[in-house]
Amino acid sequence: MDKYTNYLFAQGPKAMAQICTWINKKNTCEMPFSADCHNVDSYMKIFNTQDFVEADNFFTTEAINVWECGPGYDMTMDNFYCKLTIHNQHDDELKSCETQVLDNFNHDFNCKYANQYVSCVTNVYQKYCGIAAAKFGCNWAEVAMKVDVPQCNNTLPVC
């Protein structure tokens, strides 16, 4: 992640636009296989790992990348420097949101935990970058929850 964020910091928004070109080409190429391959089990096979969490991280990151370069592109570009700053300087707070949701789901299953995660991430973005960025953070976190716990999709907040 450090090389990625360093590249984005050094090159600015044009780097994100270039990355999105690559992601969108990759996504178009993979589209016919998405239904069969876009799941954690397939990512475990692709990356030759037995570690569910590692595969799930790749799976979730892929979904976020597709959102950031697709339906969320304008919002991502509008909040480009905020996103970088938060992931570079306040990643510990985002990790805390993630740790909390994982701990909660490991204890028992309740969709309120997905909502708490979205709220936690939204609050981090709002704290450092304001209301507009909070909407970005909300959508970003929602994408993660939609792929990780799709059974909770109908309970997630409207960003």
Name the residue with tokens 């909070």.
Answer: 134
| Rounded (to 5) percent helix, strand, coil in the chain | 85, 0, 15
Q: Enter the pTM of the model.
A: 0.87
Identify whether the C-beta of residue 146 lies closer than 8 Å to the C-beta of residue 119: no
Identify whether the C-beta of residue 86 lies closer than 8 Å to the C-beta of residue 122: no
Give the pLDDT band (50/70/90) at residue 1. low
Identify whether the C-beta of residue 116 lies closer than 8 Å to the C-beta of residue 101: yes
Q: Give the pLDDT confidence of 42-75 residue by residue, as tens digits.
A: 778 887 888 877 777 877 888 999 999 999 999 9
The answer on pLDDT for 32 being more than 90 is no
> Which segment, 19-33, 58-72, 118-132, is predicted with the most confidence on average?
118-132
- Mean pLDDT, rounded, for 151-155: 95
- Mean pLDDT, rounded, for 118-141: 97
* Predicted local distance difference test score (pLDDT) of residue 20: 96
The answer on pLDDT for 38 being more than 80 is no
- Mean pLDDT, rounded, for 3-28: 90
- Mean pLDDT, rounded, for 6-34: 88
The answer on pLDDT for 137 being more than 80 is yes
Residue 123 corresponds to which tokens in the numbers above?
């609050």
- Mean pLDDT, rounded, for 101-126: 96
* Predicted local distance difference test score (pLDDT) of residue 46: 80
* Predicted local distance difference test score (pLDDT) of residue 72: 97
